[in-house]
Structure 1
Amino acid sequence: MISVSDVSKVYALESGDFFALKNTTIQVGKGEFVAIMGPSGSGKSTLLQLIGGLDLPTSGTIEVDGIELNKLNEKQRTLFRRTKVGFIFQNYQLLPMMTVGENIALALSANHAKKEEINSVVQKLLSDVNLQGKESAFPSQLSGGQQQRVAIARALAMKPSLILADEPTGNLDQKNGEDILKLLSVLNKEEKITVVMVTHDHQAAQVADRIIVVRDGVVVTDGNKGGNRHETVANRMA
């Protein structure tokens, strides 16, 4: 499903080159739920952006569903993101001047879907995230938990095979955060959608099948939650 092979991301700064990622290699299987953890500035969000085609690596290759992102031009990457990937962000990124229904329908409208199809999809997604009857509300009229549910519904509109979630519970209280994690888990287990989630919250990471820890641009641990770790950097260098 996802193959990140020997990927580095380098930013040229006045003080010298900064390696956001260094020779990173990970594999994510179809239908997996993977959490990526690490301190601020560790490179975890950079890794998520590269997997989603929002940026390109300085070196190495990234494949998603057999598509090598390095070989796509900007227009092709936009189409890839629109059809393959659902993004969920910490700050929701809903358009404030659009209603809930219009926010969810954004990608469908961009793909020139018929009005009847759009209405049907929006109603189904609102039901899926337990927000029936909210299609005419504006984001400012919703709680943070409700806004994140709208963001998840929007991410699902094009039936993506992959959800990339960057700190999806970061702005929520414990109850709303737990509800969002349960919803992501249901989508993963029942809809078989691959989920890659960046989080700093150890409790949130427990919903994942596997936890990858990134530090200073390097994957230091890649394994399951029970302690049976896969190969680590230390082992490879031994």
Structure 2
Amino acid sequence: MITIQEVSKVYSLESGDFFALNNNNIHINKGEFAAIMGPSGSGKSTLLQLIGGLDQPSSGNLIVDGIQLNNLNEKERTLFRRKKVGFVFQNYQLLPMMTVSENIALSLSANKASKTEINLRVQQLLKDVNLEGKGSQFPSQLSGGQQQRVAIARALAMKPQLILADEPTGNLDQKNGEDILALLSKLNNEEQITIVMVTHDLQAAAAAGRIIVIRDGEIVNDQKKGVLGHESMASSLA
């Protein structure tokens, strides 16, 4: 599903080159739920942006669902994101002037789906994320947990095989955070959607089947659930 080969991301600064990512190699299989952890500034969000086609690597090969992203131009990357990837962000990124249904339908409308198709898909998604009856409301009328559910529904609109989640529980209380993680786990287990989630929270990462730790732009640990204990993980993150 995701193959990263010798990928680096370098920014040219007045003080010299800064390696946000430095020669990393990862393979994430279809249907995996992987959490990416690391200190602030370690490169984890940069890696997520590269996988999602929001940015390009400075060097190396990046292949997602058989598509080599580093060979795509901007228009091709836009189409890739629209059709292949669902994004979930910490701050939801819902459009406040649009209703819940309109927010969910954004990618469907951009892909010129019919009104009937859009309506059916939106109603099904509202049901899937337990927000039936909320379609006509605006984001400001919802709780943080409900807004994140709308964001997940929007991410699922085009039936992507990959969801990229950047700190999806970061703005939520414990109960709402647990509910969002349960929803992501359900999507992974029941629909075999590949999920890559950036988080700083060990409890959130525990929902994933695999934890990848990045520090100073390099992967320093990559373990599947049950192999790496909390003490070892905490040491990797220190």
CA distance in 1, matches of 2:117, 2:216: 46
Aligned to 2:67: 67
Q: Counterparts of 2:125 and 2:182 in 1: how far apart (Å)?
A: 16
C-alpha distance in 1, partners of 2:88/2:20? 21
Equivalents in 2 of 1:95, 1:168: separation in Å?
17
Question: Residue type matched to 1:138 in 2?
Answer: F
- Aligned residue for 1:93, secondary structure, equals coil
- Aligned equivalent of 1:113: 113
Q: Residues 117-174 of structure 1: CA distance to partner in whole angstroms, max 9, x if unpaired?
A: 0000000000000000111100000000000000000000000000000000000000
Q: Does 1:101 align with 2:101?
A: yes
Secondary structure in structure 1 of the residue aligned to 2:177: helix
Equivalent residues, number = 229
Q: Secondary structure at the match of 1:78?
A: helix
User: Who is 2:174 aligned against?
Assistant: 174
**What is the match of residue 215 of structure 2?**
215
Q: List per-residue Cα deviations over 1:183-238 (Å, max 9, x = no partner).
A: 00000000110000000000000010100000000000011132369xxxxxxxxx
Counterpart residue identity of residue 65, structure 1: D
Q: Structure 2: which amino acid aligns with 1:160?
A: P
Q: Residue 18 of structure 1 aligns to a residue in which SS?
A: strand
- TM-superposition CA deviations, 1:77-108 (whole Å, max 9, x none): 00000000000000000000000000000000
The corresponding residue for 1:49 is: 49
- Cα distance in 1, alignment partners of residues 161 and 227 from structure 2: 28
TM-score, structure 2 as length reference? 0.95
Unmatched tracts of structure 2, length 5 or more = 230-238
State the alpha-carbon separation in 1 of the partners of residues 36 and 228 from structure 2: 17
1:70-85 paired onto structure 2 within 5 Å = 70-85=70-85
Q: What do you get for the CA RMSD once the two structures are aligned?
A: 0.9
Partners of 2:178 and 2:19 lie apart in 1 by 34
SS for the counterpart of 1:113 is coil
User: SS of 1:149's equivalent?
Assistant: helix
For residue 149 of structure 1, what is the aligned residue in structure 2? 149
Structure 1, unaligned runs of 5 or more? 230-238
Matching residue of 1:29: 29
Within 5 A, what are the aligned runs for 1:120-159? 120-159=120-159
| 1:234 matched residue in structure 2 | none
Distance 2:46 2:136 in 1: 35
Question: Could you tell me how far apart the structure 2 residues matched to 1:148 and 1:157 are?
Answer: 14
Task: Report the equivalent of 1:160.
Answer: 160
TM-score by length of 1: 0.95
Q: What one-letter code is carried by the residue in structure 1 that aligns with 2:127?
A: S
Could you tell me how far apart the structure 1 residues matched to 2:121 and 2:49 are? Answer: 27
How far, CA to CA, are the matches of 1:42 and 1:24 in structure 2? 13
2:135 is paired with a residue of what secondary structure? Answer: coil
Q: What is the match of residue 235 of structure 1?
A: none
Distance in 2 separating the partners of 1:208 and 1:227: 13
Letter in 1 for 2:215: R
